[in-house]
Chain A
Amino acid sequence: MSGAGARRAGVGLKLASALVFGFLYFPLLVIVLYAFTTQSSAFTFPPPGFTTRWFSVAFADEDMWRAVRLSLLVAGLSTGVAIVLGGLLAGAVYRARFPGREAVAFIVVLPIALPGIVTGIALRSTLSLAGASFGFWTIVIGHVTFCIVIVYNNVVARLRRLSPNIVEASADLGASGLQTFRYVLLPNLATAILAGAILSFALSFDEIIVTTFTAGQQQTLPIYIFSILFRPRAKPVTNVVALLAIAITFFPIMLAQILTRERAGGTAGR
C-alpha cells in the first residue's frame, strides 16, 4: 500500500481491489459457462464444446417446476405476512416510547443475528413437540420468522427520515387514522415497504438452512438444487437451474437497491 496519505490510489491497491472484485464475480460466470458444456459428468476446462440441450432437459423436468412453484408461493405468502408483522412492529417501535422497546427491537433482529441453523432446529423441535406435520405451512412459519426483520429494517429506516409532524397535521385536519395511513403515511412509506418486500421475497426464495429443518418431504427450489447436486449424470442441469434461480431474484433486488438508495447511506440493511 503505497503512501497512506497519498491523494490517489497506488497501482498496487487498484490491482488488489480489482482482483478481489473479480474473485467475487468470476464464479458466477463459471456457472453460466458450464450450463452450456457438452460434458455430462465432468467440468473440464476449457469445455470441449457447447450445447443448449441442458436447458431443454431442465425445463422438461416436472420436479423442477414444482419446486419453483412452491418457492414462489412460499416467498409470496411469507413476504405478505412479514409486511404486516414487520410494518406494525416498525410503527410501534418508532412512534412510542415504552418499557421493553429495546427488547422488541432485539427480538426482531435475533432470527437473523443467530446462525440460521439455530432458528431451523429450534423451530423444528417446537413444531415436532406440537405435533405439526412438516410441509408448506411449516416452511412459511420459518420464513416469516426471518423475513420480519427485513421489512422492519426498511420501514424503520424510512420512518426515521419522516417528519413526525405530518401525522399530527393530518389528525388536526380531521383525518381518521385509516385516512392518515392511506393518504399520508403510505405514499411516504411505499417504496420502503416495496424494497423490504422484494428483499424479503428474495431471501425467502433462496433460503436453504432453515428450510431444510422445516420442509419435511417438500422441495423448495434450493432444496431441489441441492438434491440434484450429487447426481452423477447430466450435471450441467444443476447449472441451468441455478441460473434460473439467479434470474428470478436478480432484477427485483436491483430494483430494491435503487429504491432504498435515494440518499447516500440508505442501506438495505440485512
Chain B
Amino acid sequence: MSSVASTRSLPLRVSAFFHRHPAVRLALFLLPGLLWLGLLYLGSLGSLVLYSLWLLEEFTGLVVRRFTLSTFAQLAQPANYEIVLRTVGMAAAVSIACALLAFPISYYMARYASPRMKTFLYIWVIMPLWTSYLVRALAWRSVMAGEGLFMWAMERLGLDGVMRALLGAPVVGGPTLVQSKFSLFVVYVYLWLPYMILPVQAALERVPLSYLEASDDLGARPGTTFRRIVLPLAKPGLVAGSIFTFSLTLGDFILPQIFGTSEFYLGQMVYVQQGVAGNLPLAAVFTFVAMAVMLVYLAIAKRAGAFEAL
C-alpha cells in the first residue's frame, strides 16, 4: 500500500478532483442511467402521447400527424368501451379470487410456519414469478384440453354435469373449456397469485399476536376476531396485491390469444391495433385507458387509507 501513498498517480489525482467536486461525481453516476430512463423511456411515454393525438387516415392507412381528439373519441363506440368494461371486470374478478386464495397460505406463513418452513414457502412462492409466464400458461393448455386432466378430474368427482352447465352459461362459458372465459379467469388467477400472497403475508406478519389474544379474552368468537381484527389489518396487503393483479391483467395480451372466447381484451386491442391493423394512434389511446384505470385505482386505494400502513 506504500506505493499508493508515495506517488500522486493519476487515479489519486482523479479521486482528489472528485472529492473536491462531489457534484461532478454525482453527475457522472447519474448521467448514463438518467439518459437511458429519462430520455429514452420517459421520452417514449411522451411519444405515446403524440400518437394518441394523431389519427389514422382510413382510406390511405397512413398516420396523419395533425393534432385531433378524434382517436380518443373512438372510445365512445360500443365495441371499444365494451372491451374496456370486459377487461376491468376480468381484472376485478381475478383480483378477488387471488385475494381469497392467497389468504389461507399467507396466514399460515405469517402465523404458524416455523422459520425454516417460512423460508421454504417464501422461496417456492416467489419462484414462479421468475419463471416465464408463457410457460406456466402453456401448462394450463394441456390441463384444460378437451380430454385433459381437468375434465378427467371433474368426471371422477361426478361434476361433469356441472362443467357442461358452466360451459353453456352465458358469461363464463364457451364452445370448449379452453375457449371459455372460465379458463381464461382460472389461468389469470394462477399466474398472478404469488403477487397477492407476498404482500398479504407481509401485512399479516405485522398483526400483533396480543391483539388476537385480547380479542379472544374479551369473548370474541374466532369469526369476529377475524372480521374485526385480522381483516382490517390485512387490508393494506390485499390492496397492494390487487394493484399487481389488476395492472397485470389490464396489460396482458398473450393469454386471451390462447384461452377464452373470441372477445377482445384491452391489452390484446393495443397489440392488434399497433400490429396487424397498423393503427398506432388507437393503440396509444387504449394504452392510455389502461394507465388511466390504474391511476383511478391507485387513487381509490390511497383514499381508503391503504398506503399509509404499507
A-side residues, CB < 8 A to B, are: 1-6, 8-9, 13-14, 16-17, 20-21, 23-25, 27-28, 30-31, 33-34, 42-46, 84-86, 88-89, 91-92, 95-96, 98, 104, 107-108, 110-111, 113-119, 121-126, 128-129, 141, 144-145, 148, 171, 173-180, 199, 202-203, 205-206, 208-209, 212-213, 222, 225-226, 229, 238-239, 242, 245-246, 249-250, 253-254, 257, 261, 264, 268, 270
Q: What's the nearest-Cβ distance from chain B to residue A91, in Å?
A: 5
Residue of B nearest to A103 (CB): B38
Q: Which of B104, B209, B230 lies in contact with A20, CB distance below 8 A?
A: B104
CB of A44 within 8 A of CB of B274, answer no
Q: Are B108 and A242 in contact (CB under 8 A)?
A: no
Residues of chain A within 8 A of B50, CB atoms compared? 125
Name the distance in Å between A261's Cβ and chain B's nearest Cβ: 7
Alpha-carbon gap, A178 to B102, bound state (A): 48
Task: Give the docked Cα–Cα distance between A46 and B216 (Å).
Answer: 49
**Taking CB as reference atom, which chain A residue is nearest B52?**
A125
Instruction: A119 to B270: give the CA distance in the assembly, Å.
Output: 12
Least Cβ–Cβ distance between A253 and chain B, in angstroms: 5
B201 to chain A, nearest CB (A): 11
A160 to B297 CA separation, bound complex (whole angstroms): 32
Cα(A261)–Cα(B123), bound, Å: 10
Task: Report B95-146 residues with CB < 8 Å from chain A CB.
Answer: 101-102, 104-105, 107-109, 111-112, 115, 119, 121, 123-136, 138-143, 145-146
Chain B positions 172 through 212: 1 when the CB is less than 8 Å from some CB of chain A, otherwise 0: 00000000000000000010011000000000000001001
Q: How far is the CA of A27 from the CA of B143 in the complex (A)?
A: 7
Q: Are A226 and B1 in contact (CB under 8 A)?
A: no
> Measured between alpha carbons, how far is A96 from B252 in the docked complex, in Å?
38
Asked if residues A91 and B4 are in contact (CB atoms below 8 Å), the reply is no
A209 and B253: CB pair below 8 A? Answer: yes
Q: How many Å lie between the Cα of A27 and that of B136 in the bound state?
A: 7
- Answer yes or no: B267 CB below 8 A from chain A CBs: yes
Docked pose: A262 CA to B163 CA in angstroms: 47
Q: Are A104 and B34 in contact (CB under 8 A)?
A: yes
A118 contacts B287, C-beta separation under 8 Å: yes
Dominant SS among interface residues on chain B: helix
List B28-77 residues whose CB lies under 8 Å from chain A.
28-30, 32-34, 36-38, 40-45, 47-48, 50-51
Q: A148 contacts which chain B residues (CB < 8 A)? A: 33, 36-37
* Cα A95 to Cα B109 with chains together (Å): 36
> Shortest beta-carbon distance, B1 to chain A, in Å?
7
Q: Is the CB of B140 within 8 A of A27?
A: yes
Chain B residue contacts of A89, Cβ below 8 A: 29-30, 33-34
Which of the segments B78-86, B243-251, B302-310 contacts the partner chain? B243-251
B-chain residues with CB within 8 Å of residue A176 when the two chains form the complex: 4, 9, 11-12, 14-15
Q: Is the CB of A42 within 8 A of B146?
A: yes
User: Residue B232 at the A interface, CB < 8 A?
Assistant: no
Given A88-B33, A253-B130, decide whether A175 and B4 contact each other with a Cβ distance below 8 A. yes
Given contacts A174-B1, A225-B138, contact A88 B30 (CB under 8 A): yes
Chain B residue numbers with a CB within 8 Å of A250 are 127, 131
Contact between chains at B284 and A225 (CB < 8 Å) = no
List, sorted by A's number, 17 A–B pairs whose CB atoms are closer than 8 Å. Answer: A2-B222, A43-B143, A43-B147, A44-B147, A85-B36, A88-B28, A92-B29, A107-B42, A115-B248, A115-B251, A115-B290, A119-B41, A119-B44, A121-B283, A206-B133, A208-B254, A261-B119
